[in-house]
Amino acid sequence: MLAVTPALGCASATGWTRERSRSCERDGPPRVCVVVEPDRQLVFEVGDIELVPQECAEGPEGRRGGSLRITARDGATGDEARRRVHVRRGRELTLTAEAPLKLRVVERARCEHP
């Protein structure tokens, strides 16, 4: 007997846009938000854009989720941290960077806006 397992793919690394909306759509593209407490000079690379703390980005419309590489860079020291996270359509992933520069998932939430 042969078992077939669907392969997990990667989320699109291009076509990400900065999103100012406070809500996301249930059937919308994956969404990533970054927060840092206390506020520090960090820049997060999400797909092909850069975010600073308290900003969000959405993946390209019509694309599926999957594994996405996130990089956090400390503007004061130049240190970098990388992590792969799984993003899904209709979901918001919130990340933070703790000292010493370590990426951590804060929350995974389902988008509720119709």
Q: Domain locations in the chain?
A: 17-110
Query: Any idea of the CA torsion for 113, 9, 16, 45, to the nearest 10 degrees?
Result: 110
- State phi, psi for 10 to the nearest 5 degrees: -100, 145
- Which residue, chain included where needed, has tokens 């419309």? 61
Is the Cβ–Cβ distance between 18 and 56 less than 8 Å?
yes
Mean pLDDT by 10 residues, the chain (114 residues): 53 89 90 90 95 95 89 94 95 92 95 80
Map residue 62 onto helix, strand or coil: coil
- Domain 17-110 indexed as CATH 3.40.50: no
> What residues does 85 pair with on adjacent strands?
68
| pTM for the full predicted model | 0.85
